[in-house]
Amino acid sequence: MADTVLTSPPATAPATSKPLRRSLTLRGVLRSYAFRSLVQAVLTIFAVTTFTFFLIRLLPSDPVQIYIDKQMQSKDMTYEAALAKASLMFGADLQAPALQQYFSYFGNVLRLNLGESITSPGTSVVSQIAAFLPWTLFSVGLGLLVSFVIGLFTGMLMAYVRNSLLDTILSTVASFLSSVPNYLTAILIVYFFGVQFKWFSVAKARDAYSPGVQPGFTLAFILDVFSHAALPVFVYFLSTFGGWALTMKNSTLGVLGEEYVTVAHARGLGRLRIITSYVGRNAALPLVTQLALSIGTVVGGAIIIEQYFVYPGIGRRLVLAIQQRDYTIMQGIFLVTTTAVVVANLLADLLYSQLDPRVRSSS
Amino acid sequence: MTVPLMELQSVNRIFKGRNSTVQVLFDVSMQVAPRETLCIVGESGCGKTTTGKILAGLSKPSSGKVLFDGKDVSGFSGASYADFRRAVQIIHQDPYASLNPVHTVYRTLSFPLLRHGLVKNQMEARARVLELLTLVDLTPAADLIDKFPHQLSGGQRQRVSIARALTVNPKVIIADEAVSMVDVSIRISLLNTLTELQKRLGLTFIFITHDLAVARYFAWEGRIAVMYLGRVIEEGPAKLITDAPQHPYTQALVSALPEPDPEITRRKPRVQLRSEDIPSLTRLPSGCPFHPRCPIYVPGVCEHERPELAATQVGTLAACHVTAQTSHHAEAIAARGASVAT
Amino acid sequence: MTAQSTLPTATFRQPGPFATVWAALRPIVRKPMGFVGLVGTIAFILVAFLGPVIIPQPVTNTNMMRQGPSIEAPLGTTNDGKSILILVLRGGRDILSIALLTGGMTTFVGVALGSLAAYLGGWFDRIVNTAANFLLGIPTLVLLTVLATVIRLDNPLPLSFLLASLNWPSLMRTVRSQVLSLRERDYIEAAVALDLGTRHIIINEILPNMASYIIINLIFSITNAIYSLNFLIFLGLVPVDVKNPNWGWIISTANTNQAIYSDNTRWWVLAPVLAIAFLQWFLITLARSIEDAFNPRLRSGG
Amino acid sequence: MANPVLSVSNLSIEYNSLRGKVQAVRDVTFDLYPGETLAVIGESGCGKTTLALGLVRLLPKAANIVRGSIMFHHNGQSTEVLDLTAKQLRAYRWGDCAMVFQSALNALNPVLKISSMVQDTARAHGERDTKKIEQHAKELFEAVRLDPERVYNSYPHELSGGMRQRVLIALGVLLHPQIVIMDEPTTALDVLTQRTVIEVLKRLRDSMGFSMLFISHDLSMAAELATRIMTMYAGEAVELGTVADTFYRPTHPYTLGLLRAAPALHGSPENLSSIPGSPPNLIHLPSGCKFHPRCPYATEICSTDDPPFEQHLPDHWSACHYWEQPGEARTAYREELATLLRESQL
């Protein structure tokens, strides 16, 4: 016990006469924040890939085995024929030893071969994902971006007018919005704006764009796409906005108490300059990493929201796959979504390291 | 000389981080006699706090020995460890962090009393706590005993910390910057309380501070050890260290310290250092650690050979090629330096 | 001053259990939001657990199909004529009990792993941190969905365990940094020097300082569990006791029956939706109020 | 003496707190003369920092200036700082009256480079020529013994504590203000670093000729730098005099108490003592003289009559019924000092 209490070294005196420029040595690169984020991301993706491989094979209700049994029963195949078909489907040679299977599976993943859909043979998993994922990225990305920006401004406003009536109202609304699960927000929106006030037609808002509108880089198409995405985007906005606003309010309150803000006033800087460069920027910094973490949560929420609004994103495709127990699709979607989220996280991390010099140079 | 109560023998301390290793103590040796006062003085990062923690048994040396009453501390176990553990107590710097905010004064002080069977029951504990509070001049004790730390002033908290250390009847008290965070006007009375306790209870004090003036006051009858970058560079009776410092670093400290008298402080001779930057612990200078800043640095000698602590003319120990030796030695060194330089 | 002379004035002030609870609650309920959160949460817990005991099962009534609000059924009736109010009053127990179980489990795992990681350090710390970073970096709801299709979740225990195994990382991190900072405190070091023992240090010195953090995170874990649980119910991945449908299942069946588009049946959807929404809001308001009351950094206007 | 650059009269500042009004500064009156260094000394909570923040009107929201006046005199014009418009106030801050804060780490925005803080400051005061600003800033960095090229392009965390403090000092004099307020600028620094900062301050003050209001709890710093000293206790100025008068013939027992409580590297430690008791609660102040509960000279009158702040000796003000006593108590010290100076031939 005695020694575990003290393991950290005392603060070392910094300050050498040598310039502290970051050296571009290999050592410097290996220790840099960006490099470590990258390694973390690659490891995560590797772990997820490995995980999906074993998930499908090692669980009590082995979907491969179920598939083979089904084929043998319904189509009267031999075990070998069924196995061969399953191999094609799952994108792995099921006759080979487990380790070899694992390596070939990995090779396939790297070549973007994720196998075929079980329920609609001939359709590759990758083509399905390519058709559905962009809509999710578009709607989730847009919703998050809008809520992040508006949340930041609202949060700052709340901090500046703290303890006023406006702050109380905004805080209450924000805390309510942030507590309601997003799939319930979707229902409430449909009820209030679709059924009660009839501001839009739920039926017309289905799908990514209206039938009859030609996809292309035309104003009509873009407007149509936005109007169809409006409901899910609005839900993502409402369900994340409150959290951003409250977090930003606390962060801003913290920064407003910092001495460098007082000093900025003492230096006679203009109010706008202080609000942007001294308060806003510093308060928003810690939220950037949280933005990264929130992407995963919102993508998860999209599963039900897309289902509810009949929006053709990856979540809706996943629900369909679950209902059909289409394991190859599920596996592919999980892999790709996770990769997308990890990459988005990585980008946010890198952005953060660019915004905060302290992170950039410390190891 | 009697057996020192506490002794460090060639203690090194290395901190290993995930991707860096920092050595904060180099070959530190010191002795404290029973009832003596030793002040460890130095600037931040000199290793004085780590030395204190090693003396207190709260951190272990990476190599070297800690002796208590002539016996190696690392050999203690069971009852002998428990005895040592309680014999050496520590008082911290920050009066706002040294007391657990959730406990009242009574609870803070009664825990050790009850745990170690120093009192039989709560009634006795309460009586003893009142006695201890009175002993550290916290009066009226009955009004303060049920207070929480946040209801006390900084000076009062520091006195509670002292009382807490006294609960287990220690022999040695290590005070780490114990007065640097209390108001100037009450520092002296806090120091006087400590001195009074030392006399009355026969305590040995190891007082760690960055402030030479405080060290001079508290260790008036005792000794001062000056540390720089993990090493003891000068050691001796307090009066000699502050009035006739021999090591150029101690001289610099003495000359740099402003004094509470306009005539004296403005007339004081100032030692001009060659560099104002403190070397980083991760990139320590070769030879004498002070040589890059030293005003009497001898080229060709000081950056190559590390000086050992040696007796000086005035009767202190200093680790300096130039001043610690006899003047004869110093001339020889200077001559060697000159020959290397040319 | 001798001990005898001081004893008469030295009275023991041992506060009773009620006073202790009140002392802890006072700073929370003093603010209006804290009061709302606490009272709301308690009300929900009472109704959810007493509801199924006091109120008898709703009966199928073919004469009362899809009726609007009336005295017999203040919130209208379902397709098979069951009173929506009764359904909703009885539909919270399963959700809340699983959520409490999950919250407790998450908190236990998070606190245990977090404090062990901070205390042991070394490889254990590294493994736990890597796992936490992994789980925080991926969309856990998607993982949960995929896992739920291959694991049988007809028992609350594996369900809670599954949810807890995905939700512990953020609490683990909080606890880890708390313990790391607490164990560096001077008063902990003083306790070590006084040889008070590891047990004393953890129970008397560290835990009391972490109590508010743990309670706040327990509440957040509960809200997380409610979110994930209803998510799985919506997707039909959790088997439901059809005789005692819970809120998630009620919403699900109401949606299948297009209940939202009819004035008569709108409460079929709205009542359970609002029940979950308000429960979540009360819980989070309570957690935030505790945070405000015990975290001095956020306390504004001294 | 010349005309003052700043005249503060009857300045009173209160904080609103849950338990009542905290009277942080009460009826403080003093003049600050061109080129002088006025040290404000006192314990924590005596109101010295509140006073400094009040002078640049940077008090927190809970604080109010309840009465008094702060006149700024420059180029034959006098302006009431309390009446400045927001725009005028911005120009007055830093341009006329700059403030260097205690913790240089917290005083600099961690995510901005030193260069952008320099440019921001100059631009806010109407200077557009970035090259000229950079040139000037680098000259000042040179003057405070910093490596100009390196420091100008650094982030605050890349500099050591002593360097940051010097950056802040250089930034403080960037616009050639008439007044620089220093709030404990060396408290967090090591002895040798502190010495560098002191020397730098002296040099800048002598070359640029600004007036300095130096706030410190440390008498040694005041002895080192000040021309005059103002002692504050419980929100009041209790003594104001030249540095020599204050140290050798104090006219307030609190100043005497502080002098006796300061350990030194000279003299015998037997003469040191603490002030008994603790500072009063600023919500419920004691009657009469606020220091009387801790004062060795206090009599009946001290607990009933609040002594006025008066000039008892030439250029030496204090608020004490027994203002002659502390000076007498210092006789022994004066003799000891004379011997010391003779012997050591300093």
Q: What is the pLDDT of residues B21-53, one digit of tens each?
A: 889 999 999 999 999 999 999 998 899 999 999
Q: Which residues of A106-137 are buried (b: 16+ CB within 10 A; e: fewer)?
A: eebbeeebbbbbbeeeebbbbebbeebbebbb
Measured in degrees and rounded to the nearest 5, phi and psi for residue A118 equal: -75, -40
User: Which pLDDT score, from 0 to 100, does residue A28 have?
Assistant: 62
Are residue C156 and residue C267 in the same domain, yes or no? no
Residue D242 inside a domain? The answer is no
Identify the closest residue of chain A to B51 by CA–CA distance.
A10
> β-strand D37-41 against B88-91: which pairing, if any?
unpaired
> How many residue pairs bridge chain B and chain C with CB atoms within 8 Å of each other?
88
Res A7 pLDDT > 50: no
In chain D, what percentage of residues exceed pLDDT 90?
67
Q: How far apart are CA C232 and CA C249, in angstroms?
A: 10
Interval D168-191: pLDDT, tens: 999 999 999 999 999 988 887 888
Asked if B45 lies within 8 A of A17 by C-beta distance, the reply is no
Residue D22 domain-assigned? yes
Residues C259, C213, single domain; the answer is no
d(CA B142, CA B55): 34
D184, two tokens: 């404990």
What is the CA angle B297-B302-B303, rounded to 5?
Answer: 115
Q: Inform me whether the pLDDT recorded for D320 exceeds 70.
A: yes
pLDDT on residue B332: 60
Residues 20-79 of D with CB under 8 A from C: 62
* pLDDT tops 70 at residue A31: no
Q: Is D283 on the interface with C (CB under 8 A)?
A: no
Chain C CB within 8 Å of residue B127 CB: yes
Do D44 and D131 sit in the same domain of this protein? yes
Q: Are residues C105 and C210 in the same domain?
A: yes
pLDDT of res. D189: 84
Do residues B88 and B172 touch, judged by C-beta distance below 8 A? Answer: yes
Buried b or exposed e, range A166-192, using 16+ CB within 10 angstroms: ebeebbbebbbbbbbbbbbbbbbbbbe
* Mean predicted confidence (pLDDT) in A344-355: 82
Share of chain A above pLDDT 70, in %: 84
Residue D135 CB neighbours (<10 A): 12
**Backbone φ/ψ region at D76: left (φ over 0), alpha (ψ -120 to 50), beta:** left
C139: in domain: yes
Nearest to D187 by CA among D12, D48, D35, D23: D48
CA distance to partner chain B, nearest, from residue C210 (Å): 11
Tokens of B84: 């040592």
Same domain? For D87 and D147 the reply is: yes
Residue of B nearest to D45 (CA): B183
The single-letter DSSP state of residue D176 is: -
Residue D39, H or E segment: strand D37-41
Q: Are residues C120 and C188 in the same domain?
A: yes
pLDDT tens digits for A44-54?
888 888 887 77
Structural domain includes residue C40:
yes
**C6 falls within a domain:** no
Decide which of D163, D194, D226 is a domain's last residue. Answer: D226
Same domain, C104 and C177: yes
The dihedral built from the CA positions of residue A266, A268, A270 and A276, taken in this order, carries a sign that is negative
Q: Are strands D179-183 and D97-100 parallel, antiparallel or unpaired?
A: parallel
Nearest to B92 among C4, C6, C186 (CB): C186
Residue that the structure tokens 């991707």 belong to: B19
Nearest alpha-carbon partner for D158 in D115, D129, D222? D115
Note whether residue D115 is domain-resident.
yes
Q: Closest-CA residue in chain A for D109?
A: A260
Question: What backbone torsions phi and psi does residue D153 show, to the nearest 5 degrees?
Answer: -100, 15
Burial of A219 (0-12, 13-18, 19+ CB in 10 A): exposed
Per residue in A78-98, pLDDT (tens digit) is 777 777 777 776 666 666 677
Hey, is the C-beta of A155 within 8 angstroms of any chain C C-beta? Answer: no
Question: Domain for residue D233, yes or no?
Answer: no
Q: Say what the pLDDT of residue B66 is.
A: 94
Same domain, D270 and D222: no
Tokens of C21: 């609870």
B319: its two tokens: 């680790």
Are D261 and D203 in a shared domain?
Answer: no
pTM for this predicted structure: 0.85
- Percent helix, percent strand, percent coil in chain A, to nearest 5: 75, 0, 25
Q: Can you tell me the mean pLDDT for C166-183?
A: 87
Task: Say whether both D193 and D301 belong to one domain.
Answer: no
Distance CA A6, CA C203 (A): 20
Q: How far is B244 from chain C, CA to nearest CA, in Å?
A: 36
Distance separating alpha carbons of residues D73 and D7, to the nearest angstrom: 8
Report the number of distinct structural domains present in chain D.
Answer: 2
Please list every residue in chain A whose beta carbon sits closer than 8 Å to the beta carbon of residue C297: 254
Q: Buried b vs exposed e over C75-112: b needs ≥16 C-beta within 10 Å?
A: bbbbeebbbbbbbbbbbbbbbbebbbbbbbbbbbbbbe
Please indicate, yes or no, whether residues D187 and D292 belong to a single structural domain of this protein: no
CB atoms C277 and A179 under 8 Å: yes
Check residue D336 and give its pLDDT.
86
Which chain C residues in 242-301 lie under 8 Å from chain D, judged by CB atoms?
A: 301
C171 and C211 within one domain: yes
Which A residues 185-224 touch C at CB under 8 Å?
A: 187-188, 190-191, 195
- The residue extents of the domains of chain B are 6-238, 250-341
Taking each helix axis from N to C terminus, what angle separates C122-137 and A327-355, rounded to the nearest 10 degrees?
110
Residues D203 and D270 in one domain: no
For residues D280 and D206, membership in a common domain is answered with: no
Put simply, the answer to whether A301 touches C141 (Cβ < 8 Å) is yes
DSSP three-state, residue A91: coil
pLDDT of residue D91: 92
Q: Does D332 touch chain B (CB under 8 A)?
A: no
Helices (H), chain B: 48-55, 78-87, 105-115, 122-135, 141-144, 154-166, 184-201, 212-218, 238-243, 248-256, 262-267, 327-341
Q: Which of A1, A8, A16 to mutate: most B Cβ within 10 Å? A: A16
Full domain range(s) for residue D290: 249-308+321-343
Residue of C nearest to B166 (CA): C194
> Residue D325 contacts by C-beta under 8 Å, 6 or more apart in sequence?
D253, D297
pLDDT on residue C56: 78
How close is the nearest chain B Cα to the Cα of A263, in Å? Answer: 25
Give the alpha-carbon dihedral of C269, C271, C274, C278, to 10 degrees. -150
Report the phi/psi class of residue D176: left, alpha or beta, with left for phi > 0 and alpha for psi in -120 to 50. left
Q: CB–CB of B188 and D340 under 8 A?
A: no
- Same domain assignment for residues D190 and D254: no
- CB < 8 Å to A362, chain D: 157
Superfamily assignment of B6-238 in CATH? Answer: P-loop containing nucleotide triphosphate hydrolases (3.40.50.300)
| Token pair listed for C205 | 């010195």
pLDDT, one tens digit per residue, over D150-168 is 999 999 988 888 889 999 9
pLDDT tops 70 at residue A4: no
In this structure, the answer to whether residues D34 and D126 fall within a common structural domain is yes
Number of domains in chain C: 2
List chain D residues with CB under 8 Å of C301: 62
> Which DSSP helix (H) or strand (E) runs through D32?
strand D20-32
Please indicate if any CB of chain A lies within 8 Å of the CB of C227. Answer: yes
- Partner chains of C (3+ C-beta pairs under 8 Å): A, B, D
By CA distance, what is B258's nearest residue in D?
D220
From C223, C252, C283, the end of a domain falls on C223
Give yes or no for A13 touching B (CB within 8 A). yes
**Average pLDDT for B65-87:** 91
- The answer to whether the CB atoms of B189 and D276 lie below 8 A apart is yes
CB atoms within 10 A of CB C194: 25
Residue C82 sits in which domain range? 31-58+75-91+244-295
Task: Give C268's pLDDT tier (boundaries 50, 70, 90).
Answer: confident
pLDDT band at B19, cuts 50/70/90? low
The answer to whether position D129 is within a domain reads yes
Q: What would the two tokens of residue C102 be?
A: 């999950």
Span A113-131, average pLDDT: 81
Give CA–CA dist D194/A328, Å, rounded. Answer: 69
